[in-house]
Structure 1
């Protein structure tokens, strides 16, 4: 019963302030919740700060059935910038994200969704639940797009939180804990993105429990057992964004108090997990790099505790185990594109190197495919080899490296001086026989040709052709393979 009261009080506080929050806070309905010990500072210490965690990330862009809508133009540029945000805001805590691609879900039904199952505020809403959209991507499509080996991020038009208040929409929604989240399209490249991923890693709102008997006290005396259960985030209430000055100093003109009657004096208005969605304080930089918004070290420890507890879990309760990747994967391109055949001609883009075969019957052909290695945003890169020298790329660069049978050395300075090699696509060889040619014979170079002989495939490939030529004359021998390689040489036969 206590849990029902808390949820009701939380929702009531949302509707009272008519606040458009980042998301309603709710547990992942599909899995068992983490044990309370995970939240106790005295029971579980954070993993070593040097421990690194890597997660695959896949994006799903929802569009109308005919491909139109506010997300119609969304594609790689937007999701790559989202990867930039994730890495530049989480890397300092040794949490990394590996981009593995995006797809498009064309179904108008899921352009607008509801935040979560349950509660009177959602019973009459017209749109499907977030969980229903996730299930559709797993089993409802002819070609399911859900990736069980990645965190799945959905981009939609809008997310409803209430049918009581038509203006009450949310910027995002996430399984807490879990690997699924959804974002209103116009909030993807904002502080909402780290906010929802924070929920995936089991962070609570800084205002958790506000307006209930379980509120966090302003004096911090119960900060490890109430509120967001993180000791270094000050007690907060809803909505802190109404009381933020332009300088991001906290104001409280209505003298809002905690459940003991103490006035709030220092709400964490810059925190990613606060409710300051639209003000100047909780923002990422204009270049999508770190700006005002922040996680505290305590929140970082909480996320790392959650990840450590389930990253290698044999039961894969929250999907972390399947979505994880190795640190070495960060050095690898997210895509290797074979240039292949031109769309406007039948000629291939392979570079070919021909070497006349020693038997004089044809040519050895080395085919070296031309590939483009594509590296994600979110890291400083150093690429080097004898062909390109050294290239330095910043976190905001999405780099495409064209490679033709060359290895490129890859460094990520943030991870140290370690060098990995990418590319090195092996050439493959084949033998092409000569199929035609001719022999021109003349007494001296520059003299008129005294004999001209056309070579068919048998003669052109005859290894004894030289023995059949007239002595004491110059011979210009030309041979050609089917692919067009021409081998010409001039000899004098004694």
Structure 2
């Protein structure tokens, strides 16, 4: 009895230490002394166990049936590029406040995480914006009873905030098993579907790709490990290239992030679970194994996601599709006419493109000539004149959206006239802003060769050589 009592005291002490570390982390988030992007690293350094995702089959009645899971393995996906809108709902208290602040920069970072993760499978995401849902009651979710995820989705529809044309990602203050069970849950999602919810502290962790993976019908890598049907245990998550697995805690995984060192007697079917895919996005949430830095999807999981998109296209995914062209457009700021930039800041917002891609701004005609480039972690804030855009994740050869300035952005220039031969004999004529914008400028030039130099108000210069022949 004494040994049992001492063991209980030790366990309570360990739980108290972990709870204290969790509270310290939340306090730092509240005070903005810890960034959301630093949560995974903070949890790892302070030995905080991340919350898990509950299997959606326990929560939502829209799971794939077993025949779908098995049937998918014999089909081949097309791997055509698919672009999907994504919209965020930030759920606050009644007064609009929330303990963990969420900025638009955080949401842009979240979309970048999705693109970095899913682009390899030709799945792209376009940020379509966010809103605020001010409801203290709905900022805390439970698995059953009242305050469920499904009820939150229906509430957002009733107040006109649900986006039928986008993936809807809800960000709440906490998700728990029940009013009486304080165990935290990192996220929930429809499988397959377009709705997911994230506990705010996990927004910029591997939980977000994990939940979107569920949206595309991916199972947990430990899907069937505790099933009484040993045939299903062997099939695991129905994907051939993910190792058979079981649910586990941080303490049950060796430092190599692949070896299970926990209680092997948990397995009732005699299947070897020694090697587990702890660095897979759909595995148990252990750090540092399943972190954004280490986690990945297998090619088989990519195939499953693409097949799900194809199979459920008309019923689920078609309505949230966007064009490839949309990826080449800024999410903030705009072009005033067609492809022309906003020189007078008409929108009142700085131009910004999504991060998460490798951009090249190339010469409109000579597209191998790169004028500016940005990495996945950069946010391009301009579209230079006379350049088109390459997104290397889409195509390393195709450039889109040449940005030609409107005439009104020129402040003047010169015309150099040579005659029939370009040599040291020439005439120079200066032009003011009105003359340089004259649509009939070429008609006023002498016959032969001329060089038109146009100077833009931002200091950029544009040169064009023409030859005007006699009729």
* TM, length-normalised to structure 1: 0.64
State whether structure 2 residue 245 is matched by structure 1 residue 228.
no
Provide the residue aligned with 2:56 in structure 1: 25
How far apart, in 1, do the equivalents of 2:175 and 2:248 lie?
19
Of 149, 164, 184 in structure 1, the residue corresponding to residue 165 of structure 2 is 149
Do the aligned partners of 1:209 and 1:216 also contact (CA within 8 Å) in 2?
no
More strand by share: 1
What residue is the counterpart of 1:39 in the other structure? 69
Distance 1:383 1:30, change over 3 A: farther
CA contact (8 A) 2:390 2:399 kept: yes
- Counterpart of 2:390 in structure 1 is 411
SS of 1:26 mapped into structure 2: helix
Map of 1:300 onto structure 2 = 302
Name the CA distance, whole Å, in 1 between partners of 2:54 and 2:402.
40
1 CA distance for matches of 2:81 and 2:266?
Answer: 40
* Shift of residue 21, structure 1, vs aligned partner: 1.4
More helix by share: 2
Corresponding position of 1:11 = none
Question: Quick check: 1:198 aligned with 2:219?
Answer: no
SS in 1 for 2:137: helix
Q: Which residue of 2 aligns with 1:383?
A: 361
Task: Give the deviation of 1:370 after TM superposition.
Answer: 8.8
Q: State the alpha-carbon separation in 1 of the partners of residues 175 and 259 from structure 2.
A: 29
Superposition deviation, residue 55 in structure 1 = 0.8
Deviation at residue 29 of structure 1 after TM alignment: 4.7
**Residue aligning to 1:472:** none
| Aligned equivalent of 1:173, options 183, 188, 200 | 188
Q: Give ranges in structure 2 of 5+ residues lacking alignment.
A: 1-48, 337-341, 410-471
* CA RMSD between the two structures: 3.2
Give, in angstroms, the shift of residue 272 of structure 1. 0.9
- Say if 1:132 and 1:150 are closer, same or farther in 2 by CA, change over 3 A: same
- CA distance in 1 between counterparts of 2:402 and 2:138 reads 39
Structure 1: segments with no counterpart, 5+ residues = 1-17, 116-121, 285-290, 340-348, 352-366, 430-494
SS in 2 for 1:256: helix
**Number of the residue aligned with 1:432:** none
| SS of the residue 2:89 aligns to | strand
What is the rounded CA distance, in whole Å, between the counterparts of 1:182 and 1:327 in structure 2?
26
Distance 1:231 1:129, change over 3 A: same
Distance 1:172 1:165 in 2: 16
Deviations 1:125-150 (A, max 9, x none): xx6111111111111x2xx2211001
Counterpart in the other structure of 1:452: none
1:216: how far off? 6.2
**d(CA) in 2 for partners of 1:202 and 1:228?**
10
SS of 1:335's equivalent? Answer: coil
Inter-CA distance 389–209: structure 2 relative to 1 (3 Å threshold): closer
Cα displacement (A) at 1:197:
0.4
Establish whether residue 283 from structure 1 lines up as the match of residue 291 from structure 2.
Answer: yes
Whether the 8 Å contact between 1:217 and 1:235 is mirrored in structure 2 is no
Are 2:353 and 2:381, in contact at CA under 8 Å, matched by a contact in 1?
yes
Tell me whether 1:327 sits opposite 2:324 in the alignment. yes
Higher Cα Rg, which structure = 1
SS in 2 for 1:375: coil
Distance of 2:266 and 2:157 partners within structure 1: 45
Cα offset for 1:254?
1.8
Deviation at 1:90, TM superposition (A): 0.8
TM-score (norm 2): 0.67
Note if 1:374 corresponds to 2:389: no
SS of 1:85 mapped into structure 2? helix
Give 1:392's aligned residue: 373
Would the alpha carbon gap of residues 371 and 207 (structure 1) be closer, same or farther in structure 2, given more than 3 Å must change? closer
Aligned to 1:135: 154
Match of 2:312 in 1: 310
Partner of 1:252: 261
